[in-house]
Amino acid sequence: LSQPQQMMAQEREVIDEAFAGDIIGVFDPGIFSIGDTVCETNAQIKYSGIPTFAPEHFAIVEQVDSMKRKQFLKGIEQLSEEGAVQLYKQPNIGTETFVAGVVGVLQFDVLEYRLQSEYGVEILRTPLNYRLARWAKSELTDYSFVDMTLTSTSMLVLDRDDEPVVLFESEWAVDWAIDHNKSAKLSFEGIHTKDRNDLV
């Protein structure tokens, strides 16, 4: 932890120790994310994970100006970590575009505004017809989700933890996927940990 700073209103002070209730800021070299625990011992601390609830509105987002790709990637990943939007990518496809998922459509407006005002990036948003997202888990260790049998209108994507998620247009498509993929289970929510529970 390089030069942790205690913050009080506009004041900043480099400190060596902090106590419960103190608000401090630390430099992030790209290894921290929301929900992480910093510990000075070698103890293995494990939590059940922060739930990520399934969004109901989806769109493909990409930057308008290809020269601002770096700013676009930085901004969209930061907003995803904050929980402003959930990001998905299609397997074996580059990172030029993302599938963004939100619970309410106004979150797309927030995404556009913040990318424009904070990162100077204008985006192109293409709405998708998907309405349901289900995290997939296999009962078999060698099962490949790329080989899942899905309807032609369903899409297999990966979340920011590279966990497989299937996007569906209807409950009927969800039921169809469950019937045709006996080795896979579908969950209503994703949890950012390798352990997944409450699968249906």
What pLDDT is attached to residue 13? Answer: 79
Instruction: Report yes or no: 156 and 91 within 8 Å, Cβ to Cβ.
Output: yes
pLDDT tier for residue 71 given thresholds of 50, 70 and 90? very high
- Total residues found in the chain within this entry: 200
| 35-45 confidence digits (pLDDT tens) | 677 777 777 77
Can you say whether residue 35 is alpha, beta or left, with left for phi > 0 and alpha for psi between -120 and 50 degrees?
left
The secondary structure of residue 89, as a DSSP letter, is: B
pLDDT: is 111 or 81 the higher one?
111
Cα separation, 145 vs 164, whole angstroms = 7
Cα separation, 27 vs 18, whole angstroms = 16
pLDDT: is 191 or 180 the higher one?
180
Task: Tell me the whole-structure pTM to 2 decimals.
Answer: 0.69
Cα separation, 174 vs 167, whole angstroms = 9
| 122-168 confidence digits (pLDDT tens) | 999 999 999 999 888 876 655 567 678 888 899 988 888 888 889 99
- CB-based burial of residue 44 (10 Å sphere; 0-12 exposed, 13-18 middle, 19+ buried)? exposed
